[in-house]
Structure 1
Amino acid sequence: MKTLFMAPTRNGVGLSSTSLGLMRALERQGLKVAFVKPIAQTHETATDDSVHFARALAHAATPEPIALAAAEEALSHGAEEDLMEQVIALAREAVLGGADVLLAEGLALNERNVYAGALNAALARNLEADTVLVSSLSGVTAAVLADELEIAAQAYRRSDGGGLAGYVLNFAPVELDFGTLMAELRARSRVLSSGELPLLGVVSVSPALAAPRTLDVARYLGAEVVNEGDARTRRVTSTVVTARTVPKMASLFAPGALVVTPGDREDVVMAASLMHLSGVPLAGLMFTSGSAPEESIERLCRAALTSNLPVLRVPTNSFHTASNLSRMDPRVPHDDTDRMERMLDFIADRLDTVPLGARLRLPQEPGERRLPPSAFRYELIQRARAANKRIVLPEGDEPRTVRAAIRCVEKGIARPVLLAQPEQVRQVAEGQGLHLPEGLEILNPDRIRAHYVEPMVELRRHKGLTAPQAEAQLEDTVVLGTMMLALGEVDGLVSGAVHTTANTVRPAMQLIKTAPGSSLVSSVFFMLMPEQVLVYGDAAINPNPGAQELAEIAIQSAESARAFGIPVRVAMLSYSTGESGSGEDVEKVKEATRLVRERRPDLLVDGPLQYDAASVLSVGQQKAPNSPVAGRATVFIFPDLNTGNTTYKAVQRSAGVVAVGPMLQGLRKPVNDLSRGALVDDIVYTIALTAIQATQGEAR
């Protein structure tokens, strides 16, 4: 196991977010990363930011840091060695569950902890760590930065010449001339020009990631929440302090704007209310000087002021309120996991772990590669990009779908096709403060529908379908999109954000039909557990499969797991393990297990197994000691839809696990269903799954 120590070169370099971003980047490479913050950053009793988010987002078993007061007392009494013994014990506690890499975060430097630089160097040395220096391009020249890195490198270089893993530069201006900067740095620094300290990444400034929630602003200012609305989800990207007349300011009332105004500015209150009611998602309306609108104005604007528009009130005047806002703490609050999640992905995307490769123990063959959730998601996106497939989205003007399609185009995940009126899509995008990228394809269903009438009649002629009937059915954009897929004009279809599963699957069964060798359509969910990805099937399609159907579901699910890099060990689930129970339901699972072994002797499969016997090693060894699957299952096959759907939702909601899917199996071409509660990320990942399925179908 290798230890990496994250050390800042000066104050305010973004140490915690970079540490966790590197942790995510390493996990994407299939490494198991443990995290430790040896010494608490502040005297606060609250958990350190990095420790909190390591637990919440990376599900790391991160131990509590040594209290800063205790560390300072030890240093003041010359007991540094005792302190280091505690640090080593803490590091060992962090890796109790096993790890390929231990990532340790040092103390951020500030005006108060003048001892932190020397203490960080001692921590790195005692942990036998290679150090990653974290610096910033904010307010510094190339000459100063080169000296800073050179001095820091000397502090962390070991006597054997090792000890330096690389450096990261944060807060890079968007207009940065990277080539010129690197040339100047290398010209002024021996440690950089020699390659001893490789560059691991340059992370640019991102205003979107710095945007706090309206709720955070209210907490910071101690504001009275007059109407909470969407204060927990809306983000403040700009502040409009009303000093001018409304016509002069109207253009500033944009998505994400926090309008700061005295309550007696009736024109501003009415303008903000109108903007909100017209669909512009303002961050909120804040009344200053403890004021409120006149009753007549409040009554006139009540529809807006009591809706999902956040409304706040502060006692300070507008000038002092704006001044206070400019000094708001940039740290991410502990309950804003969405913002930190996006920040870590943003940083991880910009870090290059290749220079670290020679220093880290990578997973070796033979042996099974771990696939933690971050690695699964990362590979999913990379493979979808390589596939470059055209995916039709029949719910083309649904707001989440529009946002997901835009993200897919911007990230190159797929080539989405929105079926909707172009003007309606533009309005939906503008209402969310989004710009439609040039590569986003929008097809007007009214203009293309006639093209598919004759081919659909031909496909359904044996069922007596007539042209007028086909034209009527094609009014449904899901049917229209399915016909595009049947004719090979697109590579896959994703629907379900507003349609039921039946609405999505029925046209596919009628027009696409099952793949060769498949007699049914089933589904799997990819369950992103804290340390690995599991496959659950079938949790969305087949209500009560018989033994033959259950065996086919198991084989389809095993193939899906293998296709996405998940080791295949199939558990056929039941309420009893082995021969411990009997009854019709148990016998069905036994017969299905026999059929899978008969048809696919290459698969590791066992059943019947109870869930705990399949998933917990100690229980599996006790209940099924000779099983190759018990305690280590990766593919869980449920005996019926009632059990599967209930279990996946219980795990998803109670354990906070991301469930990607359902992904449909057994169709000739990929069609995938969404939950109607799907988030934008869910839709993006489902589009990526569909693109990869299309490639696999071509290979078959």
Structure 2
Amino acid sequence: MTRSVYVTGIGRGDGRQVIELGVMELLTRQVDRVGVFRPLAHPGPDPVFELLRGRYRLSQTREDARGMEYAEAAALQAEQGMDELVTALVERYHNVARDYEAVLVLGTDYADTQLPAELTLNARLANEFGSVVLPVVAGLDQSAESVVAEVRNAHHAFTSLGCEVIATIANRVRDSHAAAAARELGTHLPEPVYVLPEEPALSAPTVTQIAEALDAEVLLGDRTGLARDVRDFVIGGAMLPTFLTALREASLVVTPGDRADLVVGALAAHSAGAPPIAGVLLTLGERPGAETMALAARLAPGTPVLSVPGGTFHTAAALSGLEGKLTAATPRKAEIALGLFETHVDTAQLTERLSVVRSERVTPMMFEHELIERSRTGRRHVVLPEGTEERVLRAAEVLLRRNVCDLTLLGEEGAVRKRAADLGIDLRLHGAAEPVDIDPGATATACVARVVDPQTSPLRERFAELYAKLRAHKGVTYELAWDVVCDVSYFGTLMVQEGLADGMVSGAVHSTAATIRPAFEVIKTKPDAAIVSSVFFMCLADKVLVYGDCAVNPDPNAEQLADIAIQSATTAAQFGVEPRIAMLSYSTGTSGSGADVDKVRAATELVRERRPDLLVEGPIQYDAAVEPSVAATKLPGSEVAGQATVLVFPDLNTGNNTYKAVQRSAGAVAVGPVLQGLRKPVNDLSRGALVQDIVNTVAITAIQAQRQNPHHPQQRHQQKVNS
């Protein structure tokens, strides 16, 4: 029977889209097929559904996910009564539910619905659908007493109508006393109460949303600039010196279009990073001349300049009521919302109360969810050498919002901060000299990022001495080491070696050699590893396979191939993949001969000798390794053939081409490369890595660090990086 969750409010302004997104995240971690149903909808686009469909790759259309429009429902209720309306909606719900393992139901929004007793209707629908109910109450600008009363009233209202309430959420709570009072109330209710604070980054509209709301013309600005959040407004009317003192970070400057001095001044201040603004909005339909606009484009490339015909006063009045919205076009806000939800909701407890039976299939999304969850269980610290790269900064924001790990970004501090501001990214960066108290055991404590400049860091001298000592046998002097260690890859590696970070991820703009050479020289291999190798986690539609080695060793011999197989099996087991090793070749069993096949055969025997506990088969062809029907013909009775999970390629040429072919042709998600065999975790990125690839790799690195050092001293993370 489909298990459904009915998220509903008791009025407007509760920001429940954050809760709907968070619950969808929990459901997709457990099951493969999750559907969405909105019983009653307004005509036109549905931004929340489009967000859920895009983010969670839903196959539903908007029409498939909705019951009927409010006007149709009001007419049906007026003509035939409430029972007929409920009957029609129940039938449409079951038409959706039969195709899914779980369904998220989006309750009514109390906005111009023309329906009386809306709360009662939501409760009845939840009961008829067989849904558990998650009420959301608005805490915005409410006193402690009001928040407590709202939570108590919502709980009573739904339980008295026969609903199974699994928890109650107070959202957008600004006052710390109100939050504490609501949590205290939760100890007196039979179900948990979760309290989410107001998050300014969610309520802040983007420049694009402002342009759409005001029907503004975009004179300047690229996609990145238009995605910036607007957290304040500055009305430009004063002379330039006074005006500049009023500028605030992420503010939108609103000024008459004939004030070219204020436009140039604001953009020059942004270019200098003092402070970075969101953009400029010109009023009265006026605009500066072509020379001024050309100068503006050079001063702050990508920064939006908009124009509206109305006056400054009326424009400011229209801006005052605008709030940000979660939509498919604002993926950053979705990450912020999920981070907020996961920080303030006991997701393990709520998942248990949802009672969703976990699917036996493992989809790419479920695997990625698992990485994020596991990385958070033991807080670690990862260094990212490419601190000014856009994809790295965007990934860093996701990692911090999702509370995955603490970060150090390498680069000149002013350049990193300015790049983040230009991209509209709020990392709340700490300087290297700023003390940051971190308690890795407290998951509710937000993860932090700091910036370290290898050129100026006090660590440079310490690292130069260490590197010169480690490489003295290669003729490296202190003077040479002084220059080498300011390279970001070497500096980051030395941070890991010295315990100032638990792992490193690089390679978005650096070659594989530049990323891993310092690790070979400084961190070196584990005592039980002959070589360093790599694997990719290949997330197919319904399972995860491990491919090795597809990134490091060009032509391993039999000894090295056996080492790669054993390392890959260990890595697979660490990440929940039961290892069944296939040593791949162009022939299966004894059907072929030749040097290449003999190498694989010898490597297979070495694996059996060294690790008799592992299931291994080889030489074996790819189809016999993964397809049961082929395996039944070529290797009947094998414990590996047809069900291999760890596929070891005979050389880099075969492995690299195969993983890319499967990735592109079969639509698989390739997570990696994940390096194995090093004493401490360092991982490489493809230079074509997407933001999600970087997030996944950092999460894997954090998990590797947890495994390598399970008794992690919390005090280490309370050091200053420049100590």
Please classify the TM superposition score into its range, dividing by the shorter chain length. 0.7 to 0.9
CA contact (8 A) 1:164 1:196 kept: no
Shift of residue 123 of structure 1? 2.0
Alignment TM-score, normalising by the size of structure 1: 0.80
Residues 222-241 of structure 1: CA distance to partner in whole angstroms, max 9, x if unpaired?
Answer: 22222342345333222323
Q: Is the 2:148–2:181 contact (alpha carbons within 8 Å) kept by the matching residues of 1? A: no
Cα gap change, 1:475 to 1:138, in 2 (>3 Å) = closer
Are residue 206 (structure 1) and residue 199 (structure 2) matched? yes
> Contact 1:239/1:260 (CA < 8 Å) preserved in 2?
yes
Higher mean displacement: 141-150 or 78-87: 141-150
RMSD (Å) for aligned C-alpha atoms: 4.5
Q: What's the secondary structure of 2:57's corresponding residue?
A: coil
Q: Which residue of 2 aligns with 1:189?
A: none
- 1:325 corresponding residue in structure 2: 319
Q: Is the contact between residue 387 and residue 411 of structure 2 (CA under 8 Å) also seen in structure 1?
A: yes
When residues 493 and 38 of structure 1 are mapped into structure 2, their CA distance, relative to the original with a 3 A threshold, is closer
Q: Which residue of 1 aligns with 2:122?
A: 120
Question: Hey, what does 1:664 align to over in structure 2?
Answer: 675
Note closer, same or farther for the CA distance 1:416–1:225 as it changes in structure 2 (3 Å cut): closer
Shift of 1:167: 0.8
> How far does the alpha carbon of each residue in 1:59-107 deviate from its partner, in whole angstroms, 9 at most, with x for none?
3555532332665565443534344233223212222xxxxx5433322
Matches within 5 A, 1:385-464: 385=379, 388=380, 391=382, 394-395=385-386, 434-436=428-430, 438-439=435-436, 440=450, 442=452, 445=455, 447-452=458-463, 455-464=466-475
Residue identity matched to 1:510 = E
1:282 aligns with 2:295: no
Of 566, 571, 575 in structure 2, the residue corresponding to residue 564 of structure 1 is: 575
Partner of 2:65: 64
Listed as ranges, the gaps of 5+ residues in structure 2 are 437-449, 712-723
Counterparts in 2 of 1:619-658, with a 5 A limit?
Answer: 634-638=645-649, 640-642=651-653, 644-645=655-656
Moved more, 409-418 or 252-261: 409-418
Residues 34-433 of structure 1 mapped to structure 2, 5 A cutoff: 34-44=34-44, 46=45, 48-60=46-58, 62=60, 64-68=65-69, 75=77, 76-78=79-81, 79=84, 80-95=86-101, 101-115=102-116, 116-140=118-142, 152-153=154-155, 156-157=158-159, 163-181=164-182, 186=185, 195-199=189-193, 201-229=194-222, 230-279=224-273, 281-304=276-299, 307-328=301-322, 330-353=324-347, 356=350, 359-361=353-355, 372-373=366-367, 375-385=369-379, 388=380, 391=382, 394-395=385-386
The 1:465–1:341 alpha-carbon spacing in structure 2 relative to 1, beyond 3 Å, is closer
Letter in 2 for 1:333: T
- Give how far 1:134 is off: 1.4
Percent identity of equivalent pairs: 39
Structure 1 position 246, deviation (Å): 2.4
- Contact kept in structure 2, 1:15 and 1:108, CA below 8 Å: no
- The total of aligned residue pairs comes to 678
Alignment partner, residue 21 of structure 2: 20
SS in 2 for 1:308: coil
Describe the shift of the 1:481–1:435 C-alpha distance in structure 2 as closer, same or farther (beyond 3 A): closer
Q: Is the 8 A contact 2:48 2:327 kept in 1?
A: no
Ranges in structure 1 where 5+ consecutive residues have no aligned partner? 96-100, 187-191
Evaluate the alpha carbon distance shift between residue 411 and residue 153 of structure 1 in structure 2; reply closer, same or farther with a 3 A threshold.
closer
Q: Answer yes or no: is 1:512 the counterpart of 2:512.
A: no
SS in structure 1 at match of 2:167 = strand
TM-score relative to the length of structure 2: 0.78
Taking the aligned partners of 2:72 and 2:640, their CA distance within structure 1 comes to: 48
Q: Secondary structure at the match of 1:239?
A: strand
SS in 1 for 2:11: coil
Q: Distance in 2 between matches of 1:631 and 1:113?
A: 59
Cα distance, 1:375–1:260 mapped onto 2, change above 3 Å: same
Aligned 8 A contact 2:683 2:697 in 1: yes
Q: Distance in 2 between matches of 1:682 and 1:406?
A: 14
Instruction: Determine if contact 2:584/2:650 at 8 Å carries over to the other structure.
Output: yes
Distance in 2, matches of 1:193 and 1:668, equals: 46
Q: Which amino acid aligns with 1:243?
A: G
Distance 1:240 1:519, change over 3 A: same
Change (3 A) 1:319 1:505: same
Q: CA deviation at 1:501?
A: 1.5
Match of 2:447 in 1: none
